[in-house]
Amino acid sequence: MNKFGLLKMFPVFLVMAPLTLLVTGPIGQGIASVIANGSLWVYDEAPVLGITLLSLLIGFFIITGSHWVFFPVAISNLKRLGYDPFLWVAFAVWNFAELGMALAILVKGKKRSVKTFSATAAFSIAASGITEPAVYGLMLKMKKPIIPSIIASGIGGLFFGLFHVKVFSLVTVSILSLPQFINPAGGNNFILAVIGLLITTAVSFVLNWFWGVDESMFDEDEIEAAAEVA
């Protein structure tokens, strides 16, 4: 992005920054709190449904930055139970749904810049669990990957809920941090987690392959700008 592009964005920043802080931010937090409490209530009454519901909605929370309202619950679960069966499970399946999306775009994409950026986004998720390049640089720009990614995340959440998969440490979920699913007391929690995340990634890859890849939304300059922002 050149300096003239930055100058054009400056007035937008002057308007949007206070608007976000004073209006849309608090409103989003309020809505997120209501949904969070509702999801927790559903989880208490029907755990599988609760995890599936949160896994479907977690992308919205992450995009708006309102996922922080769940953190006290995850920390409380870890202290009280020794594991978290709820929030971090949703984080895990969402991250790997985004990984599947980025891989689908990487494989099916034709434009070199799109393939390069999607490869970077996929590596970012796999190595560190950082989804921002994939979310803001690919999914929200193309728009078509939104629904396939949400569906894949929900399916992953359903699997985790059905098999009672838990997280035993609160670390950003990536391939390198998968040991957080190892149960210190033994058992097959880790194997089930790996299977669930592979299913999530595969479902996201297939759905995005057929319905999510749309390079027409990008030109070379926009890809470079997205890379700079991410």
pLDDT in tens, 127-161: 999 999 999 999 998 999 999 999 999 999 999 99
Rounded mean pLDDT of 72-87?
87
Residue 158 CA to residue 137 CA, distance in Å, equals: 27
DSSP letters, the chain, are: --HHHHHHHHHHHHHHHHHIIIIIHHHHHHHHHHHHHHHHHHHHH-HHHHHHHHHHHHHHHHHHTGGGGGHHHHHHHHHHHSSBSSHHHHHHHHHHHHHHHHHHHHHH--SHHHHHHHHHHHHHHHHH---HHHIIIIIHHH-TTHHHHHHHHHHHHHHHHHTT--BSS----SSTTGGGG--TT-SSHHHHHHHHHHHHHHHHHHHHHHHT--GGG--HHHHHHHHHH-
Burial class (CB in 10 A: 0-12, 13-18, 19+), 120: middle
Closest CA to 153 of 83, 207, 72, 74: 207
Banded model confidence at residue 28, pLDDT cuts 50, 70, 90: low
Closest CA to 122 of 109, 133, 136, 111: 133
pLDDT above 80 (res 17): no
- Judge whether 58 and 90 are in contact, CB under 8 Å: yes
Whole-number pLDDT of residue 208: 95
Residue at token pair 């007391």: 185
Residue 166 CA to residue 183 CA, distance in Å, equals: 8
Q: Is 177 left (phi over 0), alpha (psi -120 to 50) or beta?
A: alpha
Determine what percent of the chain is predicted with pLDDT higher than 70.
77
pLDDT digits (tens, 9 = 90+) for 204-224: 999 999 997 888 777 655 545
